[in-house]
Amino acid sequence: MTTLEQKLHFDRIIERVEKARLRVNDHHIVKIVAASKYVDAEAIKSLYAIGQRAFGENKVQDLMSKSEALDELPIEWHFIGTLQKNKINHLLSVRPHLLHSIDSLELAHALNERLEREDRTLRALVQINSAYEASKSGFLPEETNEKYLQIMQECPRLVLQGVMSIGAHVEEPTVVQKSFETTRRIFETLPNAKVCSMGMSGDFELAIACGSTLIRLGSILFPKE
């Protein structure tokens, strides 16, 4: 795509997000994080050039290499994938803006310990497996509140900001909707939670209707030629 085509394509997506958020209410703000796992640093740079500032990667290695390659740009980096404990040091070296995927107490404790040693904090979300899918990580809905509060208490270096989840991997919108509503309902009960990260290319409008405040868009932002 030419730069102009890319800009028009991006504008059309922004318009859809805008329509969906206004259907919730005037004050409902939705942030877009570009999930850039399918593309290289050059493609990130061209989306940055037309105004996108927040990018998310799901592999620590990719986050490291792309953030290094784009070091000169003030990009806000998010980590949206499953984090292995042995990658914590690498993740922290990038100083990401937000970690979306705390999916176990062990991971929270390991992060807290490392952050403590470096006298730092990290903004993070707790991942909920609201679709009850074996292939997905995250806490089950019924245990999330307790674990969230436990992490808040035991891991003060993690500044919890809310929750993340991936919509049910099915065609029926009602099932996807139910998983989003589950996440939103939990989000509303959590102390100081500001970020409800849900919605991807195929379901972001539904996610916004269910109260998402942050959508992670990949394939729709980076269409193949």
- Contacts with ligand PLP by CB under 6 A lie at 35, 37, 58, 80-81, 166, 200-202, 216-220
3-state secondary structure (DSSP) of residue 214? strand
What residues contact residue 185 under an 8 Å CB cut-off, 6+ apart? none
- CB closer to ligand PLP out of 44 and 157: 44
Closest separation between CB of residue 167 and ligand PLP, Å? 10
- CB closer to ligand PLP out of 71 and 172: 172
What residues contact residue 202 under an 8 Å CB cut-off, 6+ apart? none
Q: Which residues pair with 126 in a beta bridge?
A: 102, 163
Distance CA 83, CA 1 (A): 33
- CB closer to ligand PLP out of 157 and 216: 216
- CB closer to ligand PLP out of 147 and 216: 216
Residue nearest ligand PLP, CB atom distance: 218
Closest separation between CB of residue 105 and ligand PLP, Å? 21
HSE of 108, CA atoms in CB hemisphere, 13 A:
26
* Amino acid identity for residue 11 in this structure: D
Closest separation between CB of residue 59 and ligand PLP, Å? 9
Helix/strand/coil (H, E, C) string of 92-160? HHHCCCEEEEECCHHHHHHHHHHHHHCCCCEEEEEEECCCCCCCCCCECHHHHHHHHHHHHHHCCCEEE
Closest separation between CB of residue 125 and ligand PLP, Å? 11
HSE of 104, CA atoms in CB hemisphere, 13 A:
9
Closest separation between CB of residue 202 and ligand PLP, Å? 6
Closest separation between CB of residue 216 and ligand PLP, Å? 4
- CB closer to ligand PLP out of 210 and 217: 217
- CB closer to ligand PLP out of 127 and 182: 127
- Cβ–Cβ < 8 Å for 181, 210: yes
